[in-house]
C-alpha cells in the first residue's frame, strides 16, 4: 500500500497491551543511502526519553494507527547504533533540491510516497520553480529515476526522460463511450416529441 509522508505525520502509535495511544509520529528517520524509513520519532504527553520507534517493531498499519506490542518497543537516543548514526546525519527529504545530471533545476521535494510493507520511498513529489510551474506545477519522480542523493540535493536522470515518462502515464484514454456525455448519431430531442402521439 502506498501512502504519502504527510499522511503519516501525527499517526497514533497504538499499544496492543493497553489499547491506548502511546504517542504520535512527529518525523521519519530516513536512511539517505537506501531512501528507506528505518524509524519514526514520536511525540506525546506520556512519552519520556524513549521516543524512537524502529519500523521493525510495527505489527500493523491500520485505520487506528500503527500498532505495536507495547511501550517496551520504544527506544531512547543511544539505544540503537544504526538509528543513532542516521539521526546524526540530520537528513531531511522535504525541501531538498532536485536536479538532473546535467544540472537543470527541477524544483524542491514537497512530499513523497512510500510502501507501508517495507517503508521504502517510491516517489518524490517535486514542486517546480516559478517559471517551469506555469507549464507543469508538480513532478512525480520514481525512485528508479534517482541517480544520487547528497546532503543538499537529489540528482535524477535527464529532465526530458522524467517528464516524458510522466506524460506517457497521463496520456491514457479510456476505451469506452459514455452515452450520457456524447450526442448519439441520428438521435435528437425532437425525436422524443415526434414519437409521442
Q: Which domain holds residue 19?
A: 2-89
In a domain, 194, yes or no: no
What is the CATH number for 140?
2.30.30.240
Q: How far is CA 55 from CA 58, 156, 159, 191, in A?
A: 5, 27, 34, 66
In a domain, 8, yes or no: yes
Alpha-carbon distance of 134 to 130, in angstroms, equals 7
Which run of H or of E encompasses 140?
Answer: strand 138-142
What residues pair up with 21 in beta bridges, in sequence order? 14
Is 83 found in the same domain as 141? no
Give the pLDDT of residue 192.
Answer: 46
Whose cell is 535527464? That residue is 158
Residue 116 is classified by DSSP as T
Is 125 found in the same domain as 76? no
Is 141 found in the same domain as 85? no
Is 137 found in the same domain as 108? yes
Residue 183 is classified by DSSP as P
Whose cell is 525541501? That residue is 95
Assign 129 to helix, strand or coil: coil
Q: What are phi and psi of 102, to 5 degrees?
A: -80, -5
Residue 75: which of 46, 39, 27, 45 has the closest Cα?
Answer: 39
What residues pair up with 53 in beta bridges, in sequence order? 40, 74
Is 141 found in the same domain as 101? yes
Residue 69 CB partners (closer than 8 Å, separation 6+): 15, 16, 17, 57, 59
Positions in the chain whose pLDDT score sits under 70 = 131-136, 159-197
Task: Indicate the residue among 21, 56, 89 that finishes a domain.
Answer: 89
Span 21-33, pLDDT tens digits: 999 999 999 999 9
Residue 18 CB partners (closer than 8 Å, separation 6+): 70
Amino acid at each position: 500500500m502506498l501512502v504519502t509522508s504527510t499522511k503519516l505525520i501525527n499517526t497514533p502509535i497504538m499499544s496492543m497491551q493497553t489499547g491506548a495511544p502511546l504517542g504520535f509520529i512527529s518525523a521519519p528517520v530516513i536512511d539517505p543511502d537506501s531512501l528507506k524509513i528505518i524509524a519514526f520519532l514520536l511525540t506525546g504527553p506520556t512519552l519520556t526519553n524513549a521516543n524512537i520507534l524502529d519500523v521493525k517493531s510495527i505489527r500493523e498499519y491500520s485505520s487506528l494507527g500503527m500498532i505495536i506490542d507495547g511501550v517496551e518497543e520504544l527506544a531512547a537516543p543511544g539505544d540503537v547504533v544504526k538509528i543513532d548514526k542516521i539521526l546524526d546525519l540530520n537528513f531531511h527529504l522535504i525541501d531538498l533540491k532536485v536536479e538532473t545530471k546535467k544540472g537543470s533545476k527541477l524544483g524542491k521535494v514537497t512530499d513523497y510516497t512510500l510502501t507501508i510493507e517495507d517503508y521504502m520511498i517510491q516517489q518524490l513529489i517535486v514542486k517546480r520553480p516559478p517559471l517551469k510551474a506555469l507549464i507543469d506545477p508538480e513532478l512525480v519522480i520514481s525512485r528508479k529515476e534517482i541517480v544520487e542523493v547528497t546532503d543538499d540535493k537529489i540528482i535524477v536522470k535527464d529532465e526530458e526522460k522524467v517528464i516524458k515518462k510522466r506524460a506517457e502515464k497521463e496520456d491514457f484514454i479510456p476505451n469506452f463511450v459514455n452515452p450520457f456525455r456524447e450526442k448519439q448519431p441520428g438521435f435528437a430531442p425532437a425525436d422524443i416529441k415526434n414519437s409521442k402521439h
